[in-house]
Chains A and B, each alone.
Chain A
């Protein structure tokens, strides 16, 4: 097995020396509908096996599919968001292959008239923008799941059809990627677009977002594509990257030895970090596509299409650019804020209430996200409201509380969901700006620390900081620090 550093070195050799790595991705995203594509069964993840099933999604004799309009619209939305040309006449085809998790032994998919074709997606790679072309976007049904018993020597497998019939969006890119950085950015950018358009929840751990890669190598400067190898069973973005690296090295070694690359499909072994041949081109399946006679073609008119176009929100990359320009945020901060739509929405809500983008950006990135992470909260369900964070920032600006106290208030807000005003009031956290009160505390501290005063007068400047600290301690951090500094300096006679 290759060690990590040797992978990096070998990979560097592949790309620096003579080969160009050509990569395309096929993405499957489960659409976020409540019910399945062709029946009324729930799409909810994690139910007891075979409880979200009916005669239709089980492919019983005599049943017929009926299109879920919402799913179709989600697919259309995604196709529009990926700048595809929309086929105004689109229909569905049967893709035939035998597998026990496929109830009808054909999958209702699209082949002859895909919903969207010839799209593209802009993405940011190491600070510059790269355009990746999309070959097609289409809608199909999900298969079930095989469950293999853990006992050794078991001569059976079980099938869970809960997932069978869940609407699935397939997005096929052109082989426009050349580096793993580009692949990483492609996956992240696509994920963000699907989340922004709210067509998929993109939960990779639940399998609702999956990738398959196809990789080929060619001599630098050549415009002829090499034989491509498809890689399946990539369960995380990390696996995608690892599998591509592995494959690039494998192919380069074969080519170096003067061997040819077979067109084949390989399975990625997550544990062993290597891939194995699943089938060769000769063994490739003949899917025997033909138009699904049980569904009518869908005609998309101008009105429908423009309604869908209007429903597309500002996409992450555009939003990030706007945050950088209009809110004067750094590239890094704007990137983090636009990573999740909910976060960007939250940020914008805050700014709408109070125009302090930099402050909000800091609070969200440094504090809110940390709390979310520490408490393992769901990002789509933030524990505080923009109105509350805006109120906190306003209170700090007014000088009612110090920034140290503010952190405490914030933490309390996260925990209780209470408004900052209420927390400050109930806990008596408001900053003390009462001159008389602060002076009396200062007098008390001076009286109690004659030695420190002596030191200070002898020129030990940081003795003053010690005294400020004592005053803050005495007031439980609530004294207005600016005022304490000024008055203390005056008293000890600077």
Chain B
């Protein structure tokens, strides 16, 4: 049975009022997954047995009127680059094919504390490097709205899992748009919180100064709920912020009267698909109708964002991925002559092409004599991009723009053109460079029926404001309620 009619908050009500049982819910969910998953391929690992056990445990708690967590009995999917104790975590890479973490990521610990039910680990571009989930070392995930299209990436598995009703909630990670872009392409809500809002402990690092764990949900209120659980200071992450976490659901209906919305002219220039542009402009008109003012702004250093990003992210990645050497865990080559040969073979065989490309680019940018010209300069330009946002937020309360320049593209269409693929993230990358929060919400459909997403950005730690703004739109529209037609083997 498909559980499409419900959000996590609604399911929560039903579970707590004992209208349904978590074990039934999980059972039905896995039936649906088994039916549909062959056409979607959202998961690398599912854990039905553990999920059912946990569900039975939570049912008991509810029946016994024990205190239960915020996410009691609610199924959730976790991107496979977030460590789950005793559950294989591969990063969609052959090099970690047998890796079973001995510890839980901070966010996973929080999910467990709040009694969520982890149903599986979702597919991604290997080490989160990509915008289509085609770079996975294991499988290609398909967009639930059109199986010939990509779900976006790198958190394509999580986005598809929520869009296909495999899960009510999912976690992803966003280094340059890896939550927001697939959320847009799959027609779901995706938040990338402020850098430091959610602990990165247990998130397998790609670009450490950019990575942030984010949420996938069916609507804005669920996003508030899930963010509530995972946000907050963690002493195991030095970059996590000691800033108190507000109640995100409280006054989410505040509306947008008097809100000043900034429209960066640089984001509506060439390369933007017409249908996407129109959908976002329509959304802006609705905001005006709801009492907001639209203001033209400029983010003058936008054109450098992608270049800066690919230097910073790849430099950090080249270092973060150095540990996968076959010595301690994960894949090790069969035969080798000496340690250097073992390193070379292990890494050549274990990493996919895109990962190798980025390691090489990153190492090059950091190598002696090039550091100043690349990494240093990129860091300086990064500061200019940050200043662009600081200046903009002097004038406006938030910034709105498309999440992705195009709706979901065809599988294989961009696979052989890395530069074109890199441009998929042109609207999302600046937020990571600046460390500010952003959300993508559904705001329309293309003529071919593919979802279109709109991005809302605000100042550091203004997730609550973003959620209020997003909810004001969602309340007036029904884009988030539309569902892809999915047919499985048993109908």
Contact of A60 among B101, B203, B209, B368 (CB under 8 A): B101
- Quick check: A290 and B366 within 8 Å, CB to CB? yes
Q: Which of A286, A287, A290 contacts B375 (CB 8 A)?
A: A290
| B235 in contact with A288 (CB, 8 Å) | no
Residue pair B102, A55 in contact (C-beta under 8 Å): yes
Judge if A255 is at the interface, Cβ distance under 8 Å: no
**Interface check B97, CB cutoff 8 A:** no
Interface size of A by Cβ–Cβ distance < 8 Å? 29
Q: Report whether A60 and B238 are in contact in the complex, using a CB–CB cutoff of 8 Å.
A: no
The interface residues of chain B, by DSSP majority, are classed as: loop
User: Contact size class for B?
Assistant: 35 or more
Given contacts A62-B83, A103-B323, A290-B315, are A98 and B201 in contact (CB under 8 A)? Answer: no
Contacts of B464 in A (CB 8 A): none
Contacts of A287 in B (CB 8 A): 368
Interface residues of A in 57-82 (CB under 8 A from B): 58-67
Q: Enumerate chain A residues within 8 angstroms of B99, measured Cβ to Cβ.
A: 61
**A382 at the binding interface (Cβ < 8 Å):** no
- Report whether B328 and A294 are in contact in the complex, using a CB–CB cutoff of 8 Å: no
A64-B200, A66-B235, A286-B368 as given contacts; A58 in contact with B328, CB under 8 Å: yes
Rounded to whole angstroms, the CA-CA distance of A290 and B312 in the bound complex is: 10
Among residues 98 to 116 in chain A, which have CB atoms less than 8 Å away from a CB atom of chain B? 98, 100, 103-106
Cα of A240 to Cα of B51 in the assembled complex, Å: 61
Asked, given contacts A61-B91, A98-B325, A104-B322, whether A293 binds B316 with beta carbons under 8 Å apart, the answer is: yes
User: Is there an interface contact between B105 and A59, defined as CB atoms closer than 8 Å?
Assistant: no
CA distance A209 to B103 in the complex (A): 34
CB–CB B319/A288 < 8 A: yes
Which chain A residues lie closer than 8 Å to B318 at the CB level?
288
Q: Bound complex: CA of A130 vs CA of B478, how far in Å?
A: 82
Beta-carbon nearest neighbor of A58 in chain B? B328
What is the number of contacts between chain A and chain B, taking CB atoms within 8 Å? 98
Residue of A nearest to B200 (CB): A64
A105, B325: Cβ atoms under 8 Å? yes
Alpha-carbon distance A289/B318, docked complex (angstroms) = 12
Determine the chain A residues whose CB is within 8 A of the CB of B375 once the complex forms: 290
Contact of A103 among B102, B202, B328 (CB under 8 A): B328
Residues of A within 8 A of B319 (CB): 94, 96, 106, 288, 290
CB-based nearest B residue for A295: B238
Please give, as numbers and ranges, the residues of chain A lying within 8 Å of B102 by CB-CB distance. 55, 60
Cβ < 8 Å to A, chain B residues 83-119: 83, 89, 91, 96, 99, 101-103, 105
Distance to closest chain A CB from B386 (angstroms): 15
Docked pose: A116 CA to B201 CA in angstroms? 30
Minimum distance in angstroms from A386 CB to a CB of chain B? 43
Please measure, in the bound complex, the distance between the C-alpha atom of A404 and the C-alpha atom of B105, giving whole angstroms. Answer: 71
Flag whether B327 is at the interface (Cβ < 8 A). Answer: yes
B237 touches A64 (CB 8 A): yes
Question: Is there an interface contact between A105 and B103, defined as CB atoms closer than 8 Å?
Answer: no
| B322 lies within 8 A of A61 (CB) | no
Q: Are B367 and A286 in contact (CB under 8 A)?
A: yes
Question: Using an 8 Å CB-CB cutoff, how does the interface string of A324-337 with B read, 1 for contact, 0 for none?
Answer: 00000000000000
Contact with B along A277-297 (1 / 0, CB 8 A): 000000000111110011110
**B204: chain A residues within 8 A (beta carbon):** 61-62
Give the residue of A62, A288, A295 whose beta carbon is less than 8 angstroms from that of B368: A288
Q: Are A289's CB and B371's CB within 8 A?
A: yes
Q: Given A61-B99, A105-B325 in contact, is the A294-B238 Cβ separation under 8 Å?
A: yes
> Do B325 and A62 have beta carbons less than 8 Å apart?
no
How far apart sit A98 and B327, CA to CA, in the bound complex (Å)? Answer: 11
Using a CB–CB cutoff of 8 Å, the interface residues on chain B facing chain A are 82-83, 89, 91, 96, 99, 101-103, 105, 200-205, 208-209, 235-239, 315-316, 318-319, 322-325, 327-329, 339-340, 343, 363, 366-368, 371, 375
- Known contacts A61-B329, A94-B319; 12 further A-B pairs (Cβ under 8 A): A60-B101, A60-B102, A61-B323, A96-B366, A98-B325, A103-B323, A103-B328, A288-B366, A288-B368, A288-B371, A293-B208, A294-B239
In the assembled complex, 11 residue pairs joining A and B whose CB atoms fall closer than 8 Å, in A order, are A61-B89, A61-B91, A61-B204, A62-B89, A62-B205, A63-B202, A65-B238, A105-B325, A159-B327, A286-B367, A294-B208
